[in-house]
Amino acid sequence: MEVQEAIGTRRSYRFLLPHKPVELEKVQKMLEAARLASFWGNVQALRAVVVHRETATDAVTKSLFAPVAGFQVDRAPVVIVWYLDYGALDEQGERLKELVRARALGIEEQAALDYLDQTLIPFFEAAMPLIKEGALTDMDCGQGIAQATLMAIEQGLGTCLLGTTNQEQIKANLGLPETAKVLVLMCVGYPAESREAGGQRPRLPFEQMFKLNGYDTPFPRSETVVEELTEAKMLQASAPLPWRQAELDYLQKALDLPNF
């Protein structure tokens, strides 16, 4: 699947086949995609524990709890617990040096290493408390999770992210380090619903979200580009497709779902 189509096809798939196993090789490909995502200073603080319902202990599966639409967690064959390890930030100097040695940063190697030691690393160390509070690190974790999502779509899988309020119990049951912060649970499985999953979910108008050179000027949205992206299946028909209610009725019965 082309990347444009994968972006367009990506949905939160809330209805997964509980009985169809997910190959761990496919999950590996999702993790490989997450691993390659950009991260400020190449810190790579995004980590995950894959919970494979078939083989995980009861204590582990039972600790996975999501307050909103939690029925998904109870039925998903795989739940990826994505977490941020703040411990990775303490190794940031080393990560920067690796970038210089890989010739991705700086022009002349020794000069760049000296600059890191004398200027950049002390700057980041001083700023670390602010960095830990800020949004950049969380945002970069999101980039990795987004890449894993696209890899899932490409392999015919569906995913849905769910926030959890069970931070401490999940950390304890999975044996995560003290420095871990659980970000989100990702249900993974083969979709029980159609690939369209009811159609493209509502989005705010493009011009309201994106501007050119200042807040007052909407970014000009070219109709030609819209047509191109529609052709490439990135832009798809809006939800709800005419048969969505019938599909939902069917899914409710098939998956024995509560009325909500």
Ligand X SMILES: Cc1cc2nc3c(=O)[nH]c(=O)nc-3n(C[C@H](O)[C@H](O)[C@H](O)COP(=O)(O)O)c2cc1C
Residues at the site binding ligand X, with contacts judged by CB under 6 A: 11-12, 66, 68-69, 161-163, 184, 201
- Helix (H), strand (E), coil (C) string for the chain: CCHHHHHHHCCECCCECCCCCCCHHHHHHHHHHHHCCCCHHHCCCEEEEEEECCCCCHHHHHHCCCCCCCHHHHHCCEEEEEEEEHHHHHHHHHHHHHHHHCCCCCCCHHHHHHHHHHHHHHHHHHHHHHHHHCCHHHHHHHHHHHHHHHHHHHCCCEEEEECCCCHHHHHHHHCCCCCEEEEEEEEEECECCCCCCCCECCCCCHHHHCECCCCCCECCCCHHHHHHHHHCCCCCCECCCCCHHHHHHHHHHHHCCCCC
Closer Cβ to ligand X, 82 or 124, answer by number: 82
Work out how close the CB of 46 gets to ligand X at its nearest, in angstroms, rounded to a whole number. 13
Work out how close the CB of 30 gets to ligand X at its nearest, in angstroms, rounded to a whole number. 16
Closer Cβ to ligand X, 74 or 91, answer by number: 74
Closer Cβ to ligand X, 1 or 69, answer by number: 69
Closer Cβ to ligand X, 201 or 211, answer by number: 201
Work out how close the CB of 9 gets to ligand X at its nearest, in angstroms, rounded to a whole number. 10
Work out how close the CB of 11 gets to ligand X at its nearest, in angstroms, rounded to a whole number. 4
Cis before 240 (ω within 30): yes
Work out how close the CB of 184 gets to ligand X at its nearest, in angstroms, rounded to a whole number. 5
Closer Cβ to ligand X, 22 or 141, answer by number: 141
Work out how close the CB of 4 gets to ligand X at its nearest, in angstroms, rounded to a whole number. 16
Closer Cβ to ligand X, 99 or 229, answer by number: 229
**Cα–Cα distance measured from residue 6 to residue 232, given in angstroms and rounded to the nearest whole number:** 10
Closer Cβ to ligand X, 36 or 68, answer by number: 68
Work out how close the CB of 15 gets to ligand X at its nearest, in angstroms, rounded to a whole number. 12
